[in-house]
Amino acid sequence: MTMFKDVISLVNVTITKDDLLQEIEVKSNREVFANKKSIAQSEFFNAGQTGIKPEYQFVIRVSDYDNEKELIYNNKTYLIYRTYEKGENIELYCEVRVGGN
């Protein structure tokens, strides 16, 4: 059984419409336990080929993940550009969101 020592906030984005039928993005955060890992050199190289600048890999339980595309760690927002399911855990590969602090 994996022990998770870090806390991340998964960001769920839903689109609603206001009274004028304009689309409004509504974000909600949900905290989950995770393990932060460094990006492997091969991942850094492969992602860099497509213009992605990987920063961290977070491992969480599959049951905690609901296809979120962003997460927050230490008050910094990251985009999840790739996932990899491994047994009962899932690896979230992240890059820093431009303008996201």
- pLDDT of amino acid 63: 96
| For residue 101, pLDDT beyond 80 | no
pLDDT mean over 55-76: 96
What CATH architecture applies to the domain 6-96? Beta Barrel (2.40)
pLDDT mean over 53-75: 95
Q: What is the pTM of this model?
A: 0.84
- pLDDT of amino acid 30: 96
Sign of CA dihedral 63, 2, 59, 49: negative
* Alpha-carbon distances, residue 55 vs 34, 59, 77, 83 (angstroms): 15, 14, 11, 14
Backbone angles phi, psi at 63, to 5 degrees: -65, -20
